[in-house]
Structures are given as structure tokens and as C-alpha cells.
A and B are shown apart, each in its own frame.
Chain A
């Protein structure tokens, strides 16, 4: 029974990890920007949600809306104010990464200054667990598990059917060919950043309500997103989603036998195993070794 419960919990966090990882994979896969401030986006969404509910007393749906606006805005700002100027003369992987990393450090510490470095969480009626056939699942968990597949379906449609989605995929394969679609690479980068940032919101809200939030969580978000992207196979969005789900479930199942401190170690070991045995990931194209 415990195992089933852990599996259920794992699917919940796995669902939000999956979305988060897909968000990173979109930015990284399509634009080649090593978007370390993906973690910062998570913090902004999470603290934005916290401030709206606990400080301003807004209802949860308005707070979620605020988190959505904040993270999309932040993604766009980072692209316009940081990545674009850094890349104006062909910024390398290095310069873009450092700049992105710097943004992450600034956001983390600004939030620590404003909200303190301790755990913050939101108590919401949504988080109250309901017993269903001996298993406990919160309303929030049900919403998450219910909506995540819908978001994935929408993404699928976007990337397979719409011209913008197709152009974004083209960007990943060969940036020079994208002009064929009549969209500038600039606007595609912006779209990728905003879209990627939006996908962090479910994870931020879910974690803020269930596990709580600290300013240092950004690095962990990065580790999970990056690990899921690699596990799934760089360049494959479905892979990143699967990777996130796998990590969420594995992390939760690790509580069955291991002390709480080791859950990140489980993530790392899975990542290392993939790098060692299957560097191309679950669904990625074969990587040269």
C-alpha cells in the first residue's frame, strides 16, 4: 500500500517535473541557449504565487494567473535584455551560459532578501488529501494529473500542426533554413523562451503548495530539468517529458527504502547511468560517442 501511495505521489510530482523539463527542453533544444535561469523562472512563478495568496490574499486561480504572467514576462525579459545582447556577436555557449547563470544568481538572492532564505509554503484547501480506496490524493494532485496530459496534447498539436511550431522545430535542426518559413529567428527565440517559461508554472505552484519553496530551489529545478532532458534525449520533447515523469516517480519511490536526504542522489545516479549506458537518452537521436 505504501508503495502504491508513493507511486501515486511520484506520478504527481513526475507530471509537473515533466512539464518543467519540457519547458527547458524547448528552450535548449530549439535555441541552443543553455537556459540556466530556467530555475529562476521557477522561483519567480513560485514566489509570485506565494505573494499573491499569502501576502495579498488573492484567490488561488488569480494567483496562478499572476504566476503565469510573471514567468512569461520574465522569460521574455531575459531573452530581450540578456540573451539577445549577449548573442549579438555570436555569443558562444560559454557567454550565454554565464549570463544565464548570473541572472539565476541575482534572482535567487533578490528573492532571499525579500522573502528570507527559509521554507515558505502556501496552505490551500486544494492541498487537503482525500482518501480514495485507501490512497490519499489531494485535489491539487488530481488537477495536476488531469491537466498535465491536456497540456502535452496541446503542445503536441502546436509542434505538429501549427506553422510556428513547425518553424520552431526547424530552428532546432538547422537555424539557417528557418527563414524559409518566413519567421525571423529573433521572434522564434522569443516564442521559445516564453513558452518554456510558462511550462514551469505548474511545477512552481504544485511544489509551493505541497513541499514549500526556498530561494535555492532553482539549482535543483535545473538539475531535474537538465537530467530529464538528457535522460529523454536532447532534442526530443516527448523524451524530456518521459524523463521528468521517470525522475518524479523514482524520487518518490526512493523514500520507500532510503532516508529523505538521498532523493537527489537517486536523480543523479539515474542521470549518470544514462550518460554511461545510453547517452542518446530514451527517445533522442543517436549521439556521437
Chain B
């Protein structure tokens, strides 16, 4: 993947209401290539909703969602995934009763007719899956069921699945929560490497120290509104925003 510049994904004036609750309120957000954008905000700010809107799981009431300049609003989650928008879930959503290797393999088997493809293609997929598993340190667990490995390992499997998708936009929902320090470094090492290769990453994270460490840019969300987007230091040192974040009266 060549390093790319410019905007990978863009939300323009997106709004979504659930009953009386506004989950997104005229949101403008852009994810540049080669950068990590941290999505920060108090609980219930609508961070995951933003992901769901970008991946087509929730259709906004108004606004526009662009990927490489193409409107995604009418597309199914599948079509959006095939265009190169990969996501992880807070609840991981692994294929729990399949082995670690199968979890990665199946992501690479995009077409329902993959099983008809010949031996060389199959071997290629298998090799690549093995390579990804060694990259994330799960090669030794390839034949374990996803449900049987530890939580930290499941986080890496979730990452392996995203690597297998060869997407140019990664949406990661709390990828680091529950990781110990050493795996945390390993995890973000892989992210950094992909970002340098040009991938646009957007991640939701509660731990502000982590966000500060990994993000190139931060968007601050509260009650469905992007209050500010910019340099991590500037956003995280903004007294008004931190007050909102820690639930203090403003």
C-alpha cells in the first residue's frame, strides 16, 4: 500500500436522532490518510454511533458520508466493507466458535464462491493468514477456538482480522482497553506501522493518556456534537473540554 495523502473519510453535517435523543448533531469529521484520529468524549457522547454511521449500520437522518469522495449513504455495510472500510467492535464480535486461523481466513474469503477457487489461491490465502497471525503473535494459537483464548489474545485476533481485510480505513472501538503494558506497545507498534504505510485510523478510547500517545489528531465529541477537532495537546489541555469529559459542571 503506498502512502496516501488527503482525506480518506469524511462526515459532512451528519445528524441522527433516536426518538427524542440526538445521537449525532450536524457532525463534521474528517479522517486523513496516514494519521490516527482519536475520538474522545464522555459516555453516551455518540462515539460508537459515529462508527455505525460510517460503516452503514446506522443510516443518518441527514448529511453525507464520503469515502474517497464517494457517497456511502445508500450502501450496505458489506459494500462499504468491500470498499476498504474495516472496523473492530467494542465487544470484539469474533467468530467465537471458529479457530483463530479460520477467523482470519474467512475474512480473506470475500466471495461466497471462494470455495470453488483453485489450490494455488487457497495456498496463497493460507500463507498470508499465517503471516498475519505471526505478526500479531498468535501463530502458536492458530488451532484454538476464538472463544478459548485470553481476552488480550482476542484483542489481537480482532486486529488480525482487520489486517486481513487490507482496508485503507480502520475504525477501532476501544482497541486497547484491557491490554497489559507490553502487549499495548506491541499493539500500537502494529498500528503505527500501518499508519505509516498510509492507512487512516480512527479510534475510540477512554484513557486520555493512551489517546495522547497514539493520536495525531483528536476529535472531541459530546452529546452527538463534535465540539472541536485538532492537535491532541490543544484539545486535551482545553479546560472546557476536560471539564465536560470528567463530568464537571461547566
Contact = CB atoms under 8 A, between A and B. Distances in A.
Contacts of A180: 21
Interface string B43-79: 0100000000000100100000000000000001100
A176 B43 CA distance: 11
Interface of B: 18-21, 23, 44, 56, 59, 76-77
A176 to B, nearest CB: 8
Interface string A159-182: 000000010011001101100100
A289 to B, nearest CB: 7
Contacts of A170: 18-21
Given A177-B44, A288-B76, A289-B76, A169 B19 contact: yes
A170 B21 CA distance: 9
A: contact size bracket = 10 to 19
A186 interface: no
Interface in A273-289: 286, 288-289
B44 to A, nearest CB: 7
A179 B4 CA distance: 43
A173 B18 contact: yes
The residue among B18, B23, B59 with the most chain A CB atoms within 10 A of its own CB is B18
B18 A166 contact: no
Given A173-B19, A176-B44, A289-B76, 7 more contacts: A166-B20, A170-B20, A174-B18, A177-B23, A177-B44, A288-B56, A288-B76
A170 B76 CA distance: 24
A169 B19 CA distance: 7
A288 B77 CA distance: 9
A166 B76 contact: no
B19 A166 contact: yes
A174 B59 contact: no
